[in-house]
C-alpha cells in the first residue's frame, strides 16, 4: 500500500490536487480492530474546483494516472495493486481533510481522517455497513464527543446520530 500512497502524494507534489486524506473503511481501520474491506477511498481537494460546464473535473488526475500505466477495474483505478476510489471533497470532507491526522505508513507520509469526521461521513451515507463502522468507532476509538457534537450540529447530522445511538 505504501507505493499507492506514494503515487497519491505525487498528485499533490505535481499540483494536480491541493490536498487529500484517506477516508472510508481504511481510515476507520486506523482506529478500530481489523475488518474486511475492498478498496482505498481517497478524498481530494482539487486545484480547480469546477470546469467549464459546472462539472467537477477529475480528468487531469486520471490522465496522469493513466499515463503512469494504471488501469481501471470497474469503478476503481488500480494503483500499485490497490483498488482506489477518488472522491472530490465537499465542504464537510474538506474540513475533514484539513483536520486529518498526519501519519507515516511504512515510512511514507499520508493523512487519515479522524474518528469524529468519519462518524459524520458514515452517518451521512447511512448504509448498514457504515452504521456498523460507526459502532466500531464509538466502541474502540477515542472519540472527542464535544468535537463530534460540533461537527454533527454544523452539518445537520445530530438528529440522525441520536436516532442511531438510541436504536
Partner 1 sequence: MSDQKILIGERVLTREELFREAEEFRKERARFSLEEKIRILVEMQKLAQSFGGKRDVIVWEI
> Which spans of this chain sit near partner 1 (rule: CB under 8 A)?
1-2, 26, 29-38, 73, 76, 78, 80-83, 103, 105-106, 112, 139-141
| Residue number, 81 or 156, with CB nearest to partner 1 | 81
Closest separation in Å from C-beta 91 to partner 1 = 27
| Residue number, 31 or 161, with CB nearest to partner 1 | 31
User: Which residues are CB-neighbours of 97 under 8 A, at least 6 positions away?
Assistant: 19, 20, 21, 43, 45, 89, 111, 113
3-state secondary structure of 58: coil
Phi, psi of 137 (to 5 degrees): -65, -45
Closest separation in Å from C-beta 55 to partner 1 = 29
User: Which residues are CB-neighbours of 1 under 8 A, at least 6 positions away?
Assistant: 40, 80, 82, 105, 106
Closest separation in Å from C-beta 105 to partner 1 = 6
Closest separation in Å from C-beta 33 to partner 1 = 4
| Residue number, 73 or 154, with CB nearest to partner 1 | 73
Closest separation in Å from C-beta 99 to partner 1 = 18
| Residue number, 55 or 165, with CB nearest to partner 1 | 165
| Residue number, 54 or 69, with CB nearest to partner 1 | 69
Q: Which residues of 64-103 are buried (b: 16+ CB within 10 A; e: fewer)?
A: ebeeeebeeeeebbbbeebbbebebbeebbbbbbeebeee
Amino acid at each position: 500500500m505504501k507505493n499507492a500512497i506514494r503515487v497519491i502524494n505525487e498528485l499533490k507534489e505535481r499540483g494536480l490536487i491541493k490536498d487529500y486524506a484517506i477516508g472510508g473503511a481504511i481510515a476507520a481501520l486506523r482506529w478500530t480492530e481489523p475488518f474486511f474491506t475492498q478498496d482505498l477511498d481517497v478524498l481530494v481537494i482539487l486545484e480547480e474546483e469546477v470546469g467549464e460546464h459546472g462539472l467537477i473535473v477529475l480528468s487531469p488526475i486520471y490522465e496522469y494516472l493513466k499515463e503512469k500505466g494504471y488501469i481501471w477495474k470497474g469503478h476503481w483505478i488500480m494503483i500499485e495493486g490497490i483498488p482506489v476510489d477518488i472522491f472530490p471533497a465537499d465542504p464537510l470532507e474538506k474540513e475533514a481533510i484539513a483536520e486529518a491526522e498526519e501519519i507515516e505508513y511504512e515510512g511514507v507520509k499520508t493523512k487519515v481522517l479522524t474518528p469524529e469526521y468519519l462518524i459524520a461521513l458514515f452517518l451521512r451515507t447511512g448504509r448498514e455497513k457504515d452504521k456498523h463502522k460507526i459502532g466500531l468507532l464509538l466502541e474502540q476509538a477515542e472519540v472527542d464527543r464535544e468535537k463530534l457534537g460540533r461537527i454533527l450540529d454544523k452539518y445537520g447530522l445530530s438528529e440522525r446520530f441520536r436516532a442511531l445511538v438510541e436504536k
